[in-house]
Amino acid sequence: MRLKTGLVWAVLLLGGLFVYHDDRFQAVPNKVITAVSQWRSSLATELNAGNNSSMASSATSSVASSVTSTSSRPAASSTTTEATPIESNVQGKTLATTYYYHFAADMPAKAQQAFTAAVAVYNQTGIVKLVAGSGTAEQNQITFFVYHKSMSAAEQGTVELGHGGPNIIQRVGWGAYTANHARAGLNATYSAALNRSVAIHELGHALGLDHSTDPNSVMYPVEQGKTVLTAADIAGLNSIYVK
Ligand SMILES: [Zn+2]
């Protein structure tokens, strides 16, 4: 999933918001085509959900909950503690909690620092354990990288800050395993992307979190500078990793 700044350039010049957007990788090894196509469809879903329908549905549900909360307070509070959604391609999968991560070649120091800080944030949850190293085919892996993508006026002034997502590898039969060979990247064309809040968002996608409609969530699709996981973000991770 990509993190974009979804604002008009004029707004950016005024110091406006950055939006998380989601994208797909261009160079894809043949052996992960199937997994990537699952991932692409989840991206497409997320793009729609993050940009339009989930905002609309959250507005709808908050209206609904405010109606019900006049007679039932618990309904309103259960809405606010709803777990951050998870990516469709991790749903129903049993994943190990240990990830081996490494940096791609030629990573700027600022990007490495941002991802290192993001790793610490997720390790502090105690839910997943991210360890420097390569890992084997059957182990979970994360590759951190940077890329360069300039946004044109045709893209309506949105600035993509990064992208990332889970990439589920399943081997069936003898020696069966399920692993997540995820990627998380920052768009180094924009200095605002080399930032821990962006890295936390993209690493969240890599671990299986989808976009949240809560502006306090690190998974909100518009960059808010959030660096602390909400209870809902942690609940989302739990739903993936604690069975
Ligand atoms: Zn995103």
What is the DSSP code string of 62-120? Answer: HHHHHHHHTT-HHHHHHHHTPPPPB-GGGTT----SEEEEEEPTT--HHHHHHHHHHHH
Ligand 1 centre to CA of 2 (Å) is 5
Output the pLDDT for position 20: 54
Ligand 1 centre to CA of 211 (Å) is 6
Ligand 1 centre to CA of 72 (Å) is 33
**CATH code, domain carrying 43:** 3.40.390.10
**Residue 188 near residue 194, CB atoms below 8 Å:** yes
Domain residues for 86?
2-241
Ligand 1 centre to CA of 228 (Å) is 16
Ligand 1 centre to CA of 198 (Å) is 9
Sequential pLDDT tens for the chain (243 residues): 666 665 444 334 333 445 554 543 322 332 222 233 333 333 433 444 344 333 333 333 333 333 333 333 344 444 456 999 999 999 999 999 999 999 999 899 999 999 999 999 999 999 999 999 999 999 999 999 999 998 876 666 678 999 999 999 999 999 899 999 999 999 999 999 999 999 999 999 999 999 999 999 999 999 999 999 999 999 999 999 997
Which uninterrupted H or E stretch holds 123? helix 109-123
Q: Is residue 192 classed exposed, middle or buried when 0-12, 13-18 and 19+ CB atoms within 10 A define those classes?
A: middle
In total, how many domains does the chain have? Answer: 1
Ligand 1 centre to CA of 215 (Å) is 13
**Residue 171 near residue 87, CB atoms below 8 Å:** no
SS3 of 26, please?
A: coil
Ligand 1 centre to CA of 175 (Å) is 33
Q: CA end-to-end span of the chain, whole Å? A: 25
Ligand 1 centre to CA of 49 (Å) is 11
Output the pLDDT for position 24: 35
